[in-house]
Structure 1
Amino acid sequence: MTDHTMKKNAASIPHSIWPADELKCAEKEAADALGITLYELMLRAGEAAFHVARTHYPDAAHWLILCGHGNNGGDGYVVARLAAAAGIDVTLVAMESEKPLPEESQAACDAWLNAGGEIHAPDALWPETVDLIIDGLLGTGLTQAPRETVAALIEKANQHLAPVLALDIPSGLLAQTGATPGAVINAAHTVTFIALKPGLLTGKARDVVGQLHHHALGLESWLAGQTTTLTRFDASQLAGWFPPRRPTSHKGDNGRLVVVGGDHGTAGAIRMTGEAALRSGAGLVRVLTRSENIGPLVTARPELMVHELTTSSLEESLEWADVVVFGPGLGQQAWGKNALQKIENFRKPMLWDADALNLLAINPDKRHNRILTPHPGEAARLLNCSVAEIESDRLLSAQRLVKRYGGVVVLKGAGTVVASENGETGIIDAGNAGMGSGGMGDVLSGIIGAMLGQKFALFDAACAGGVAHGAAADLRAARFGTRGMLATDLFSALMRVVNPDVIDLNHD
């Protein structure tokens, strides 16, 4: 049974991500360029998966291998033959079809049969002694819910006590979007081949992928010469974003932030944003909020400069600021709307979150100096669609938001998507389920705001901030677990992740 926590060996997982619809052509082009047949690539895929299975389940004596009618099934036939040759009991169940198998899959099937293997029908009884299930049912070409016969096998595999290793992608998970429109394999391990697919990192991926492994099948040299517009960002890149500071740097070098929000009853939101900015290296942070919030905020965090939000204080602060973070705890009443009228003319970098996004949805505009950080509900309001539509294709949703509103969009969630109007798209591969609690978005706003104040470009600020946010949560989860994590728990860990030259992020 999988614990539904996605893990990976970061050193073996590439940072480049390929759009799923380009992979088939890329595979053939790479094979041709390197003089490798597609069947040889299939053999290499099967060998890579067999090695992962043997490494993680060395005592599994009986493997059940589920083969579909495409090349994913062909990989399964290769695994079956290798397992049988190693003395493992193998039961192979294959889907039936009126269409012939693809050429490479047929060759792999023939090799399995010639080695003395048998093929069982989908309705065959499964042996009672199965120790490991290999999922080779559906590959990266799936664009809709699995048909009923395949779905029945998926559900049967999920109900079995044996762990599942998925070939390339868990069957039922869409390779481009990470959506699961129907039945989907819950894998303990997934071995993906050639290139990383976006659907392995966002959407529902973390629920079903398990531990992710990657094998380029010998195509590394060709892949290294290609460029993609999709990038995976993780904690291994923190050192590149956060080099040691110059010994002579001072607070004026590190950004003057104005943080606006905290209407009646929401002082906590603006306090968390302000403190997160300080913990992320901001030089000076000024908070503009309700007068009754001043005492509590200064008492809780005296390093914050806290003032009442008035027309005159806002005008003076906008003149002083390098960056504005607008929206945490803002509300949607006249108090917040009046601030919006001034802030929308700010020409320096700014970030809008929370109720600023809800006000923007009412009166949309397009700006090039702004980062928007919506969760799926806010994104749905900004695009006037349902949350289900947003989640059905998170990359496309982020790109639609950028097209409509400009700047950079950070679509939050498991596998946060960052998109810029310049065409850059990233997936934040950090964070965990402990972040599903109130205030996490307020902390993220402060972190990204601090990055802007430290002269990061909008897209870089969003990506570096997103990774720092997730990495801090991962440090806390590694020590204490995910349940009960508070947004303010991230502050101590946050200081660690933005100083990677001092701290070993792999040791707590």
Structure 2
Amino acid sequence: MTNHSEKQNLPSLPYSVYSADWLRQAEAQAAQDTGISLFTLMQRAATAAFSVARSRFPHSQHWLILCGPGNNGGDGYELARLAKDAGIKVTLLAVASSKPLPAEAQQAQQGWQKTGGVIGNIEQPWPQDADLLVDALLGTGLTAAPREPMARLIQSINQHPAAVLALDIPSGLSALNGVAPGDAVHATATVTFIALKVGLLTGQARDYVGELHYAGLRLESWLGGHQPLLARLDRSRLGEWLKPRRPCSHKGDHGHLLLIGGDIGYAGAIRMAAEAALRAGAGMVRVLTHKQHIGPLLTARPELMVQELNDESLIASLEWASAVVIGPGLGQNEWGKSAFRRVAESEKPAIWDADALNMLAITPQKRQNRVLTPHPGEAARLLGCSVKEIESDRLLSLRRLSERYGGVVVLKGAGTLIIADDQRMAVADVGNAGMASGGMGDVLSGVIGALLAQKLSLYDAACAGTVVHGAAADILAQRQGMRGMLATDLLTWITPLVNPDLEK
């Protein structure tokens, strides 16, 4: 999930994502259905965590394992036993609790003690020579900000110089939605068990999860019989949407895309969207913009068709278009509002972005023929709430946007979320912080628009376009770093990504 390379050599992750609440309730059923005990599951989790720790931190010699009062702590005890048996120096500190440990965790604790393992008090000084910290404090049940002593322990983990391996999820991060309501562990790596949880892939997850590893604990077949909450999308999925072209196809077969925008001072937005559409394979791309922008746009990219936006050109172009993009640089003056009203009446499939979304927030309407691509600020305006409320539960915000406005919604951010009109949902596990710069959304609109013009469905165009966009940024980050990445830098890498057959 971090530092995606051009060849995607990070740990392989499943394509299905589940609700942490559902999984906690289903875990006992999974054990029963597969004829094993919950303690056996705990042993499998510890074995998987040990394997990740040894491969990811091969030179670590002194592990400091911090165990909480639940089954996450039980995973820690069992991991400690495995490490001690392997000759690794282990210091185990446990959080005291007025409640007894769950039965499985008690069994793991006793197994640790039978090997001669010592359980230290969490308040005692931590060994500074520890070169791997294992976070087995809270697990996936978090519903509020950690209280003392957990908050203080999380702060101490984050201040310690050693690498950190989190078991299942970094303590303090919500497995439900990726929100950290208080202090949360900044893990170097996280190994999650049985299923991917939503909170590992969106919200604030990327600030805390580190490199994400997955261990199915031999329940993959059982899990496959249950409907996931979300699909996880990455670059490896592109071939499912983007098939090789027929040898005898011509430009008319690949769509007529109309882009509308570029108010005075914002010509760059519409130019970036239009060129991204060309790079993503639209057969013909027409831009309607201000008269004074025609020359500069044609000089920069002569493959574009550029005309002045007025009633006559808009009516004719809407008739010509296979798909429409409206919003990049549109502004909120009467010039843009007039075009917005005309497009709002059209039945053509469309991408609404930027100022088109701001106008939609003022005059709400529900339609099924469009893709909305809000960032959190635009989403807040569309829902009449604060950005903080949007980010406090991105999945809920996504559903509310879909319910209010219809169509397909792409809620942008770290772990972009996508929802279809039939409530299918996906999370795009691509992209990086280098994309926090102007113009990135314009490029995304152009890519999705191009794929829509090439006859992908609204949902497939949104999914594939989001992956192409984020994967292009990941290639750039690998090659030149994140800081200083420009939206136009992505254009070079869009074309190879929309031709995934080249990688076979």
Q: TM-score range by the shorter chain?
A: over 0.9
Are the structure 2 counterparts of residues 364 and 442 from structure 1 closer, same or farther at C-alpha, using a change threshold of 3 Å?
same
**Structure 2 match to 1:269:** 269
Q: Distance in 2 between matches of 1:237 and 1:58?
A: 32
Deviation at 1:4, TM superposition (A): 7.5
**Structure 2 match to 1:281:** 281
Deviation at 1:244, TM superposition (A): 1.1
SS of residue matched to 1:371:
strand
**Structure 2 match to 1:397:** 397
**Structure 2 match to 1:67:** 67
Equivalent residues of 1:5, 1:210 under 8 A apart: no
**Structure 2 match to 1:94:** 94
For 1:454, the aligned partner's letter is Q
**Structure 2 match to 1:58:** 58
Q: Distance in 2 between matches of 1:279 and 1:91?
A: 55
Deviation at 1:243, TM superposition (A): 1.6
SS of residue matched to 2:149:
helix
Q: Distance in 1 between matches of 2:3 and 2:134?
A: 19
**Structure 2 match to 1:134:** 134
Are the structure 2 counterparts of residues 6 and 248 from structure 1 closer, same or farther at C-alpha, using a change threshold of 3 Å?
closer
**Structure 2 match to 1:335:** 335
Equivalent residues of 2:11, 2:213 under 8 A apart: no
Deviation at 1:327, TM superposition (A): 0.4
**Structure 1 match to 2:34:** 34
Task: Please report the TM-score for the alignment, with normalisation by the length of structure 2.
Answer: 0.98
Structure 2 residue 85 is the aligned partner of structure 1 residue 85: yes
Alignment of 1:45-444 (within 5 A): 45-444=45-444
Equivalent residues of 1:9, 1:213 under 8 A apart: no
Q: Distance in 2 between matches of 1:129 and 1:229?
A: 42
SS of residue matched to 1:135:
strand
Q: Distance in 1 between matches of 2:187 and 2:452?
A: 39
Deviation at 1:59, TM superposition (A): 2.0
Deviations 1:413-440 (A, max 9, x none): 1100001221111000111111111000
Deviation at 1:80, TM superposition (A): 0.6
Equivalent residues of 1:6, 1:207 under 8 A apart: no
Are the structure 2 counterparts of residues 443 and 55 from structure 1 closer, same or farther at C-alpha, using a change threshold of 3 Å?
same
Deviations 1:345-374 (A, max 9, x none): 110210100000000001111000111000
SS of residue matched to 1:164:
strand
Equivalent residues of 2:48, 2:215 under 8 A apart: yes
**Structure 2 match to 1:468:** 468
For 2:475, the aligned partner's letter is L
Are the structure 2 counterparts of residues 184 and 4 from structure 1 closer, same or farther at C-alpha, using a change threshold of 3 Å?
farther
SS of residue matched to 2:33:
helix
Deviation at 1:115, TM superposition (A): 1.4
For 1:448, the aligned partner's letter is I
Deviations 1:84-130 (A, max 9, x none): 11111111111111111111111111111121111112211112321
Equivalent residues of 2:4, 2:478 under 8 A apart: no
Equivalent residues of 1:4, 1:207 under 8 A apart: no
Deviation at 1:223, TM superposition (A): 1.5
SS of residue matched to 2:336:
helix
Consecutive unaligned residues of structure 2, counting only runs of 5 or more, are none
Q: Distance in 2 between matches of 1:423 and 1:19?
A: 15
Equivalent residues of 1:323, 1:350 under 8 A apart: yes
Q: Distance in 2 between matches of 1:323 and 1:229?
A: 30
Deviations 1:354-401 (A, max 9, x none): 000000001111000111000000000000111011011111111110
For 2:468, the aligned partner's letter is A
Deviations 1:295-345 (A, max 9, x none): 000000011100000011101111111111000000011111111111111
Deviation at 1:407, TM superposition (A): 0.3
For 2:417, the aligned partner's letter is V
SS of residue matched to 1:438:
coil
Deviation at 1:6, TM superposition (A): 7.9
Equivalent residues of 1:452, 1:458 under 8 A apart: yes
SS of residue matched to 1:302:
coil
More displaced 10-residue stretch of structure 1: 67-76 or 51-60: 51-60
Deviation at 1:276, TM superposition (A): 0.5
Equivalent residues of 1:432, 1:470 under 8 A apart: yes
Deviations 1:147-166 (A, max 9, x none): 12101111101111100000
Q: Distance in 2 between matches of 1:172 and 1:338?
A: 48
CA RMSD between the two structures: 1.4
**Structure 2 match to 1:454:** 454
For 2:123, the aligned partner's letter is D
Deviations 1:162-221 (A, max 9, x none): 000000000011001111111111111100000000111111111111111000001011
More displaced 10-residue stretch of structure 1: 48-57 or 310-319: 48-57
Task: Please report the TM-score for the alignment, with normalisation by the length of structure 1.
Answer: 0.97
Deviations 1:24-58 (A, max 9, x none): 12222221111011100000000110111111222
Q: Distance in 2 between matches of 1:9 and 1:478?
A: 12
Equivalent residues of 2:49, 2:79 under 8 A apart: yes
Deviation at 1:9, TM superposition (A): 5.5
Deviation at 1:477, TM superposition (A): 1.4
For 2:405, the aligned partner's letter is Y
Equivalent residues of 1:328, 1:442 under 8 A apart: yes
Aligned residues: 502
More displaced 10-residue stretch of structure 1: 225-234 or 383-392: 225-234
Are the structure 2 counterparts of residues 375 and 142 from structure 1 closer, same or farther at C-alpha, using a change threshold of 3 Å?
same
Equivalent residues of 1:186, 1:209 under 8 A apart: yes
Percent of aligned positions with the same letter in both sequences?
61
Equivalent residues of 1:263, 1:330 under 8 A apart: yes
Structure 2 residue 43 is the aligned partner of structure 1 residue 43: yes
Equivalent residues of 1:497, 1:503 under 8 A apart: no
More displaced 10-residue stretch of structure 1: 86-95 or 327-336: 86-95
Are the structure 2 counterparts of residues 4 and 130 from structure 1 closer, same or farther at C-alpha, using a change threshold of 3 Å?
farther
SS of residue matched to 1:285:
strand
Deviating beyond 6 angstroms after TM superposition, the runs of 4 or more aligned structure 1 residues are none
Equivalent residues of 1:6, 1:209 under 8 A apart: no
Consecutive unaligned residues of structure 1, counting only runs of 5 or more, are none
Structure 2 residue 469 is the aligned partner of structure 1 residue 480: no
